[in-house]
């Protein structure tokens, strides 16, 4: 009769064996690896952004994809995302004999240690993603940056001859560095690794992730600029009882975020038709997105530019409602058809739009509430919490993005309730569902992470 697994065996990340000092043993190769991973992740993020901006400026005279689409003729707005999807599909042909690679693979490599992250695959997918984004596809750029950070950790760990355990920690540090370079949010980057990737607080992971995040954020800020990427925001509540309204916002946004995840799943099933293969599948998805962008240029890109409009309060309710649906369907067409990219930033825009509509509706009833832009800011966090089941990450990330302490309580309220509602209606997060489709599953317990075999 097999003995039950001890808590340490059930946890995804192995616990140090007696006599094993882990990262606390001074090993110059490991700490050199942490530094190299941070530099690599930030350099890649800077190069990715710079080349995108360079191409946009050369073609349209602006580094802003939304402005470029607004100024482009109708036929160009319609065709550009299709061309980008086709180019992404052509690059994707080189990946047909591989398993592909995404954030789920990074999670599996860190937690289970049985997945190798190929730098070749990472660079090919990043190239495909670059084409899709450069031509106006509706998808985020954070996916390639996070995956490159993890893959660089794998590669550098192997080149330095580190142990498998230390190599897994280096992948985690690289993942945090990639997230920090993408969003300029160092605390949220560490929480992304702890709350989503590992799912448990693993002490050996925290310190390297912190150091890699500091280095990556410092380099990125020196080149891209300091301060929150969405600018400083002044948040205020009209009254203490308004916290109840933010609790309701958590429920409202969670339902909307779940609907978005189901739309993405529907899109994936729709594009799995056997007659529609590479490179035409991403091209068709790009054409559908182009059909939306032709009439709604703000649906292009990752959602960064329209989020600024929302938070500035310079938009109307009708436009925000149109943007909400347009962005959801354009992102589904781009991502579900196979163009590599992230949905993290598009989710922020969807949450911000839902929050703006919710706040506007409250004001329309005659209630004394704060500005709709404040509800948009909290909605961004609620949507992130609902899709990732990571309320602490979501709250801290938007706190860092806003730079305003007054928003702390509404963030905690909304993200906690959004996560509760989301877990009730859809037990798996967007990342857990991705892993389950590949036959990998786990659940969190008080004893750590327990792997569920298919």
What's the pLDDT tens digit per position in 264-305?
Answer: 999 988 888 777 777 889 999 999 999 999 999 999 988 888
For the ranges 51-60, 96-105, 321-330, 391-400, the lowest mean pLDDT is seen at: 96-105
- Mean pLDDT, residues 6-19 taken together: 42
> What's the rounded Cα separation, in Å, for the pair 175 and 147?
7
> What's the rounded Cα separation, in Å, for the pair 105 and 114?
10
Q: Is the pLDDT of residue 201 over 50?
A: yes
- Predicted pLDDT at 447: 54
- Predicted pLDDT at 391: 92
- Predicted pLDDT at 118: 84
For the ranges 162-166, 294-298, 328-332, the lowest mean pLDDT is seen at: 162-166
- Predicted pLDDT at 342: 81
Q: Is the pLDDT of residue 437 over 80?
A: no
Higher pLDDT, 88 or 201: 88
Digit-coded pLDDT (tens) for 335-374: 998 888 888 889 999 999 999 999 999 999 988 888 888 8
Percent of the chain scoring above 90 in pLDDT: 46
Bridge-partner residues for 326, per DSSP?
none
For the ranges 30-44, 208-222, 261-275, 324-338, the lowest mean pLDDT is seen at: 261-275
Mean pLDDT, all residues of the chain: 84
- Predicted pLDDT at 347: 94
Q: Is the pLDDT of residue 225 over 80?
A: no
Digit-coded pLDDT (tens) for 377-436: 999 999 999 999 999 999 999 988 877 777 889 999 999 999 999 999 988 888 777 777
Digit-coded pLDDT (tens) for 31-63: 999 999 999 999 999 999 899 989 888 888 877
Higher pLDDT, 443 or 291: 291
Asked if 324 and 350 count as a contact pair (C-beta separation under 8 A), the reply is yes
Tokens of 88: 């992404």
- Predicted pLDDT at 403: 73
* Structural domains of the chain, ranges and CATH numbers in brackets: 10-15+26-224 (1.10.3080.10), 242-440 (1.10.3080.10)
Higher pLDDT, 321 or 443: 321
Bridge-partner residues for 443, per DSSP?
450
Which is nearest to 30 in space by CA: 243, 172, 187, 148?
Answer: 172
For the ranges 43-47, 128-132, 221-225, 414-418, the lowest mean pLDDT is seen at: 221-225
Q: Is the pLDDT of residue 10 over 60?
A: no
For the ranges 197-206, 225-234, 319-328, 365-374, the lowest mean pLDDT is seen at: 225-234
Q: Give the pLDDT band (50/70/90) at residue 241.
A: confident
- Mean pLDDT, residues 67-78 taken together: 91
- Predicted pLDDT at 12: 45
Q: Give the pLDDT band (50/70/90) at residue 230.
A: low
- Predicted pLDDT at 21: 47
- Predicted pLDDT at 16: 42
Spatial CB neighbours of 3, under 8 Å, sequence gap ≥ 6: none
Q: Is the pLDDT of residue 9 over 60?
A: no
- Predicted pLDDT at 140: 85
- Predicted pLDDT at 2: 43
Bridge-partner residues for 445, per DSSP?
448
- Mean pLDDT, residues 25-35 taken together: 84
- Mean pLDDT, residues 180-195 taken together: 89
Q: Is the pLDDT of residue 454 over 60?
A: no
Q: Is the pLDDT of residue 1 over 70?
A: no
């Amino acid at each position: 009769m097999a003995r039950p697994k001890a808590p340490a065996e059930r946890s995804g990340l192995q616990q140090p064996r007696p006599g094993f000092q882990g990262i606390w043993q001074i090993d110059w190769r490991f700490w050199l690896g942490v530094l190299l991973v941070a530099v690599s992740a930030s350099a890649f993020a800077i190069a990715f952004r710079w080349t995108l901006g360079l191409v946009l400026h050369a073609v349209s005279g602006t580094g802003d994809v939304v402005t470029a689409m607004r100024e482009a003729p109708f036929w160009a707005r319609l065709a550009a995302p299709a061309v980008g999807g086709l180019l992404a599909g052509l690059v994707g042909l080189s990946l047909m004999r591989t398993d592909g690679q995404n954030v789920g693979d990074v999670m599996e490599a860190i937690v289970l240690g049985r997945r190798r992250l190929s730098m070749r695959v990472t660079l090919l997918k990043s190239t495909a993603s670059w084409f899709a984004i450069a031509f106006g596809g509706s998808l985020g750029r954070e996916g390639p940056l996070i995956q490159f950070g993890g893959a660089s950790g794998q590669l550098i760990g192997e080149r330095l001859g580190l142990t498998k355990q230390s190599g897994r920690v280096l992948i985690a540090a690289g993942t945090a560095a990639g997230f920090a370079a993408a969003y300029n949010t160092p605390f949220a980057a560490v929480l992304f690794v702890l709350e989503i990737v590992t799912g448990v607080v693993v002490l050996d992971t925290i310190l390297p992730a912190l150091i890699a995040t500091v280095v990556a954020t410092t380099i990125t800020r020196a080149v891209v600029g300091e301060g929150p990427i969405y600018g400083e925001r002044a948040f205020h509540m009209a009254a203490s009882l308004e916290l109840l309204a933010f609790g309701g916002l958590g429920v409202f946004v969670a339902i909307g975020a779940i609907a978005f995840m189901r739309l993405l799943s529907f899109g994936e099933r729709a594009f799995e038709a056997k007659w529609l293969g590479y490179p035409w599948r991403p091209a068709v998805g790009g054409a559908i997105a182009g059909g939306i962008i032709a009439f709604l240029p703000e649906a292009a890109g990752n959602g960064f530019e329209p989020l600024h409009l929302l938070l500035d309060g310079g938009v109307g309710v009708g436009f925000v409602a149109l943007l909400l649906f347009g962005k959801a369907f354009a992102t589904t067409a781009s991502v579900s058809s196979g163009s590599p990219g992230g949905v993290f930033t598009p989710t922020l825009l969807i949450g911000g739009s839902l929050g703006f509509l919710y706040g506007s509706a409250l004001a329309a009833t005659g209630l004394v509430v704060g500005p709709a832009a404040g509800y948009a800011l909290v909605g961004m966090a609620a949507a992130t919490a609902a899709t990732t089941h990571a309320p602490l990450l979501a709250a801290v990330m938007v706190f860092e993005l806003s730079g305003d302490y007054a928003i702390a309580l509404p963030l905690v309220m909304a993200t906690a309730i959004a996560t509760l509602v989301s877990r009730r209606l859809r037990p798996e997060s967007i990342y857990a569902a991705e892993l389950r489709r590949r036959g990998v599953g786990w659940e969190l317990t008080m004893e750590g992470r327990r792997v569920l075999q298919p």
